[in-house]
């Protein structure tokens, strides 16, 4: 999921450089949503692992 967010961020930067403002803002919005979803799932996984009493792999 994080790789998708990075991909859309790169597409937003490229679109902004080429002058496609509307497309760049759409890509940036998608990247922000995907990043927030990634963070939420990551925190949820950490909490679930802590509740089960397992330590993270080293």
Entry field: residues in the chain: 58
Would you place residue 58 in the very low, low, confident or very high pLDDT band (cuts 50, 70, 90)?
Answer: low
Torsion of CA 26, 2, 44, 49, to 10 degrees: 180
Question: pTM of the predicted model, to two decimals?
Answer: 0.71
User: pLDDT per residue over 2-56, tens digit each?
Assistant: 788 888 888 888 988 888 888 888 888 888 898 999 999 999 998 988 888 866 6
Q: Are 8 and 34 in contact (CB under 8 A)?
A: yes
Residue 37 pLDDT: 93
pLDDT value of residue 41: 93
């Amino acid at each position: 999921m994080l790789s998708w967010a990075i991909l859309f961020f790169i597409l937003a930067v490229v679109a902004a450089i080429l002058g496609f403002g509307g497309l760049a803002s759409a890509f940036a919005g998608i990247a922000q949503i995907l990043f927030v979803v990634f963070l939420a799932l990551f925190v949820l996984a950490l909490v679930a692992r802590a509740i089960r009493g397992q330590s993270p792999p080293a």
